[in-house]
């Protein structure tokens, strides 16, 4: 089911959070709202669930205007960061809850609840109390409870944020697999860019009540449109552009920065405040001998060996630039204080100020 926000406005305490927000989420996709704390993700999700009614504008499920439809008639499943399980009921009773409320016969409800508990790997935990489960297991119960009613829309509000890293990685693939199996339109809220990139069909990057960019994970990562998106998703190096120079290098543009001239194939026009966004893993160390256009000189200020990769902070005239190299046998290690030359990729992206 396709879901849309139409001309949504919402204020709190005289402060406008959304002014005129339009957003369409395609049917059957895993759609992520990604942005820093306070940008309005939860509020949008709660509007879909029916917990918040917008000051103005409409919410559509398919062609149906559901703006004034109450929570229990919307047919949505929700999962929250804090699980929100009933502490005094068994796991099975928690999962049966939505079915009981919808008048499904008791045996049928139990059969369906057991089937979905089996799917999330908790077949043997049906009779336990939530307190006797780990955080990861509780969140599996919450997923089972949301999915057992076969909702038209699944809403997930930072469901992994309370879990430790290993469980987060494990659960995110389980959630994604369940979503693909059920083919259910899903809206996932997170402030964690890695989670968003790993799980989503589409990501909407949000900043202060605005949708900054919508795209597939790879598109957002490799073609960010604004400095905010480039920085928030993947922490790009941002190099201020001083001026575009005439170019005689086939198909490439030449941009003057404080650290030197950089060549790029980015087609984006340059407005005031434009910067070049460069991913740390796309930058290479080169020798003076092989330096072509676009080599920036600097000094290594910090080295961090992380096992599979090494991270460097290099001071240049355009500020600190982060460089990440994959660890390979026989690599020449760079050390703090070394003078180095950096080769920037041709696909560095021109981004706008906001
Ligand atoms: N019920 C409310 N009353 C007052 N302010 C609210 C309420 N709900 C949200 N806000 C404000 O709206 C902004 C966005 O909140 P929220 O949607 O929870 O952001 P996010 O989920 O992205 O962290 C915040 O500044 C928050 O304080
Ligand atoms: Mg939130």
CA distances from 260 to 93, 257, 265, 295, 302 (A): 66, 5, 17, 8, 22
Point out the ligand 1 atom lying closest to the alpha carbon of residue 44.
Answer: 17
Residue with the nearest Cα to atom 27 of ligand 1? Answer: 38
If asked whether residues 170 and 66 sit together in one domain, one would say: yes
Residues 47 and 183 in one domain: yes
The percentage of residues in the chain with a pLDDT greater than 70, rounded to a whole number, is 99
Instruction: Choose the final residue of a domain: 210, 226, 242.
Output: 226
Statement: residue 123 has pLDDT above 70? yes
Domain co-membership, 196 together with 58: yes
21 and 165 housed in the same domain = yes
Q: DSSP letters along 11-71, please? A: EETTEEEEEEEEEEE-TT-EEEEE--TTSSHHHHHHHHHTSS--SEEEEEETTEE-TT--G
60 Cα: distance to centroid of ligand 2 (angstroms): 22
77: left (phi over 0), alpha (psi -120 to 50) or beta: beta
Q: Which residues of 181-202 are buried (b: 16+ CB within 10 A; e: fewer)?
A: eeebbbbbbbbbbebbbebbbb
pLDDT at 87 over 70: yes
Residue 58: CB atoms within 10 A of its CB come to: 14
CA dist., res. 130 & res. 138, Å (int):
6
Cβ neighbours for 322, distance < 8 A, ≥ 6 positions apart? 235, 237, 280, 311, 312, 313, 314
Atom of ligand 1 nearest to the CA of 37: 23
Mean pLDDT confidence for 52-77: 95
13 Cα nearest atom in ligand 1: 4
pLDDT, position 159: 94
Average pLDDT over residues 8-36: 97
Q: In whole angstroms, what is the distance from residue 50 CA to residue 311 CA?
A: 45
For atom 8 of ligand 1, which residue has the closest CA? 43
pLDDT greater than 80 at residue 289: no
- For residue 166, pLDDT over 80 is answered with yes
Determine the distance separating the centroid of ligand 2 and the alpha carbon of 51, expressed in angstroms. Answer: 14
Q: What is the sign, positive or negative, of the torsion defined by CA atoms of 36, 39, 23, 150?
A: positive
pLDDT above 70 (res 161):
yes
Written as six digits, the tokens of 42 are 């939860």
**Among the atoms of ligand 1, which is closest to the Cα of residue 189?**
21
The pLDDT score that the predictor gives to residue 327 is 87
pLDDT band, very low/low/confident/very high, at 248 (cuts 50, 70, 90): confident
Using one digit for the tens of pLDDT, what is the confidence trace for 301-348? 999 999 999 999 999 999 999 999 998 887 788 999 999 999 999 889
CATH number for the domain harbouring residue 316: 2.40.50.140
Which of the ligands is closest to the CA of residue 208? 1
- Range of lowest pLDDT (4-13, 34-43, 72-81): 72-81
8 and 36 inside one domain: yes
For 60-83, letters b (16+ CB in 10 Å) and e give bbeeeebbeeeeeebebbbbbbeb
Please report where in the chains the tokens 């404080």 appear, as a residue. 258
**What average pLDDT does the segment 264-287 reach?**
92
At 294 the pLDDT is 65
What are the structure tokens assigned to 113, written together? 């609840």
Q: Is the pLDDT of residue 293 over 70?
A: no
Give me the mean pLDDT over the 248-273 stretch.
87
Same structural domain, 215 and 259: no
Q: Which of 197, 226, 255 is the last residue of a domain?
A: 226
**Which pLDDT does position 185 carry in this prediction?**
97
How far, in Å, is the centroid of ligand 2 from the Cα of 157? 7
Q: Near ion ligand 2, which residues have CB within 5 Å? A: 42
The verdict on 42 and 101 lying in the same domain is yes
End of a domain among 226, 247, 274? 226
Quote the pLDDT of residue 81: 86
Q: Is 237 found in the same domain as 346?
A: yes
Domain of 238? 228-351
Across-strand partners of 238?
277
pLDDT at 12: 96
Q: State pTM to two decimals.
A: 0.92
* Alpha helices, H only, 85-129: 91-101, 106-119
Taking a C-beta distance cutoff of 8 angstroms, is the pair 77, 49 a contact?
no
Query: What local confidence, expressed as pLDDT, does residue 272 receive?
Result: 86
* pLDDT confidence bin for 247, thresholds 50/70/90: confident
What average pLDDT does range 170-181 have in this prediction? 94
């Amino acid at each position: 089911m396709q879901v849309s926000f139409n001309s949504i406005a919402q204020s709190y305490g005289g402060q406008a959070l959304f002014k005129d927000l339009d957003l369409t989420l395609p049917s059957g996709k895993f759609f992520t709202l990604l942005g820093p704390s306070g940008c309005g993700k939860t509020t949008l999700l709660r509007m879909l669930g029916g917990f918040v009614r917008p000051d103005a504008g409409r919410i559509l499920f398919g062609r149906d205007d559901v703006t004034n439809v109450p929570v229990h008639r919307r047919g949505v499943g929700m999962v929250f960061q804090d699980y929100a399980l009933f502490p005094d009921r068994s796991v099975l009773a928690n999962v049966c809850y939505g079915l009981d409320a919808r008048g499904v016969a008791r045996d049928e409800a139990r059969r369906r609840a057991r089937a979905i508990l089996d799917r999330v790997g908790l077949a043997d935990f049906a009779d336990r109390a939530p307190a006797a489960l780990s955080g990861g297991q509780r969140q599996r119960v919450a997923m089972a409870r949301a999915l057992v009613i076969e909702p038209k829309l699944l809403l997930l509000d930072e469901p992994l944020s309370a879990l430790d890293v290993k469980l987060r990685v494990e659960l995110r693939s389980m959630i994604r697999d369940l979503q693909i199996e059920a083919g259910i339109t899903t809206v996932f809220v997170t402030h964690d860019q890695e989670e968003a990139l790993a799980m989503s069909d589409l990501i909407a990057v949000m900043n202060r009540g605005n949708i900054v960019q919508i795209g597939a994970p790879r598109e957002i990562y490799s073609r960010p449109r604004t400095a905010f998106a480039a920085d928030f998703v993947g922490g790009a190096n941002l190099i201020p552009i001083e001026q575009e120079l005439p170019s005689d290098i086939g198909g490439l543009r030449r941009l003057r920065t404080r650290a030197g001239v950089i060549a790029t194939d980015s087609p984006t026009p340059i407005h005031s405040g434009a910067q070049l966004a460069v991913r740390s893993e796309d930058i290479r160390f080169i020798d003076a001998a092989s330096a072509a256009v676009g080599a920036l000189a600097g000094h290594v200020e910090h080295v961090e060996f992380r096992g599979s990769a090494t991270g460097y902070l290099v001071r240049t005239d355009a500020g600190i630039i982060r460089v990440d190299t994959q660890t390979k046998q026989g690599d020449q290690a760079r050390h703090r204080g070394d003078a180095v030359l950096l080769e920037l990729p041709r696909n560095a992206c021109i981004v706008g100020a906001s």
